[in-house]
């Protein structure tokens, strides 16, 4: 079981996981304040404020930066990974959510006027992030990594 002990003591595993958790808890709280209803599904859901994906990869990149420096292979890999994930969250995944919303509306409209039963498919609409949601996730990830690197680890 040495691998498990190694894993839970690995700051490059723990810090991004903690950043993801912080972002997801904040997502539940923000969603509850806005909608006046507690929705625990948001804890594991995609989309919304802040971006858990962005918090996770930005904290990993920050840990690599603080540990190995800007000239390291580790920072280059994690930095590029963070850019790709954050860009994807604002691009493809955000557009996918918009398309799902429109398709859901089309299906609902056709269901009203159709004699034939349409498949009861509800596409997932919360899959992407706005630039502000991504920026909030990045901020959470960087701050958490700095706090954990300088104060805890």
Residue pair 48/133 in contact (Cβ under 8 Å)? The answer is yes
The pTM of the full predicted model, rounded to 2 decimals, is: 0.80
Q: Which two tokens stand for residue 147?
A: 């706090």
Express each pLDDT in 61-90 by its tens digit. 999 999 999 999 999 999 999 999 999 888
Q: How many angstroms separate the Cα of 7 from the Cα of each of 22, 48, 75, 122, 123?
A: 20, 29, 20, 38, 36
Q: Where are the domains of the chain?
A: 2-87+130-152, 92-127
Q: Please give the pLDDT value at position 93.
A: 66
């Amino acid at each position: 079981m040495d691998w498990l002990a190694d894993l839970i003591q690995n700051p490059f595993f723990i810090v991004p996981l903690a950043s993801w958790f912080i972002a997801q808890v904040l997502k539940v709280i923000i969603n509850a304040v806005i909608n006046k209803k507690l929705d625990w599904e948001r804890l594991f859901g995609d989309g919304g404020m802040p971006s858990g994906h962005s918090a996770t990869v930005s904290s990993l990149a920050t840990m690599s930066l603080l540990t190995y420096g800007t000239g390291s292979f580790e920072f280059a890999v994690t930095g590029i990974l963070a850019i790709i994930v954050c860009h994807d969250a604002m691009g493809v995944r955000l557009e996918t959510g918009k398309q799902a919303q429109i398709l859901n509306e089309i299906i609902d409209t056709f269901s009203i006027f159709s004699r034939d039963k349409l498949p009861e498919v509800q596409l997932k609409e919360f899959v992407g992030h706005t630039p502000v949601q991504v920026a909030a996730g990045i901020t959470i990830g960087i701050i958490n990594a700095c706090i954990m690197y300088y104060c805890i680890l």
